[in-house]
Amino acid sequence: MLGDFVLRACLAGIGVALAAGPLGCFVVWRRMAYFGDATAHAALLGVTLSLALNLPVVLGVAAMAVAMALTVALASGRTYAVDTMLGVASHAALAVGLVALSFLSGVRVDLMGYLFGDILAVTAADLAVIFGGAALVSALIAWRWRRLLMATINPDLAAASGVDAGRERLILTLALAVLVAVALKVVGVLLVTAMLIVPAAAARAFARTPEEMWGLAVAVGVASSLAGIWGSWTWDTPAGPSIVVAAVLLLALANAAGALTRGRRADQTSSAGPAGASAVSSSESESSSSR
The more confident residue out of 268 and 92 is: 92
Three-state secondary-structure class, residue 33: helix
Question: For position 239, what pLDDT does the model report?
Answer: 93
Q: How far apart are CA 270 and CA 266, in angstroms?
A: 6
More confident residue, 99 or 109: 99
Determine the average pLDDT of the residues in 173-181.
90
Cβ proximity of 139 and 171 under 8 Å? no
Taking only the tens place, the pLDDT of each residue in 71-80 is 877 766 666 7
- DSSP string computed for 252-285: HHHHHHHHHHHHHHHHHHHHHHHHHHHHHHHHHH
Average of per-residue pLDDT across 36-62 = 89
Q: State residue 41 phi and psi, 5-degree precision.
A: -65, -30
Mean pLDDT value of segment 143-155: 91
Identify the structural domains of the chain with CATH numbers, from first to last.
Answer: 4-290 (1.10.3470.10)
Mean pLDDT of 277-289: 48
The closest alpha carbon to 113, from 177, 64, 183, belongs to 183
pLDDT classification of 274: cutoffs 50, 70, 90:
low
Amino acid present at 172 = L
- Whole-number Å distance between alpha carbons of 40 and 34: 10
Are the C-beta atoms of 29 and 213 separated by less than 8 Å? no
Question: Could you tell me where the DSSP H helices lie in the chain?
Answer: 4-29, 33-41, 43-53, 57-75, 82-102, 111-116, 124-143, 145-153, 155-160, 165-187, 192-204, 210-235, 239-290
Q: How confident is the model at residue 203 (pLDDT cuts 50, 70, 90)?
A: very high
pLDDT at 277: 47
Q: What is the mean pLDDT of residues 140-146?
A: 93
Mean pLDDT, residues 199-206: 93
Contact between residue 117 and residue 242 where contact means Cβ atoms under 8 Å apart: no
Least confident stretch, 163-172, 193-202, 262-271: 262-271
